[in-house]
Amino acid sequence: MTGFSTESFTFLRGLEDNNNRDWFNENKAQFTAHLEQPFADMLEALSNRLMDASRPLSGGKSTMFRMNRDVRFSKDKTLYKTNVSGILTPSGSKSEVSSILYLHLQSGGGFAAAGYYNLSPKQLIPIRDAIVERAERFDEILAELSQSGRTLDDDQMLSSMPRGYAQHSEHRHAEHIRRKSLLIQQPLVEDDWISGNVIDQVERLARDAMPLLTFQDPARPS
pLDDT tens readout for residues 180-221 = 999 999 999 999 999 999 999 999 999 999 999 999 876 655
Mean pLDDT of 13-31: 96
How far apart are alpha carbons 93 and 104 in whole angstroms?
Answer: 17
CB atoms under 10 Å from CB of 38, counted, come to: 20
205 burial type by CB count under 10 A (0-12 exposed, 13-18 middle, 19+ buried): buried
The residues pairing with 182 across neighbouring beta strands, listed in sequence order, are 116
- φ, ψ for residue 161 (rounded to 5)? -65, 140
Sign of CA dihedral 120, 125, 130, 132: positive
What pLDDT is recorded for position 1?
Answer: 60
Give 89's pLDDT tier (boundaries 50, 70, 90).
very high
pLDDT at 137 over 90: yes
Range list of β-strands (E), the chain: 83-88, 100-106, 109-116, 182-189
How far apart are alpha carbons 18 and 23 in whole angstroms?
Answer: 6
Express as a percent the part of the chain with pLDDT over 90.
84
The hierarchical CATH code for the domain 6-213 is: 3.30.930
What pLDDT is recorded for position 183?
Answer: 95
How far apart are alpha carbons 210 and 181 in whole angstroms?
Answer: 16
Helix (H) / strand (E) element for 48: namely helix 37-49
Give 156's pLDDT tier (boundaries 50, 70, 90).
confident
Determine the distance from the C-alpha atom of residue 120 to the mean position of all C-alpha atoms in its chain, rounded to a whole number.
16
Domain range summary for the chain, segments of one domain joined by +: 6-213
Average pLDDT across the chain, whole number: 93
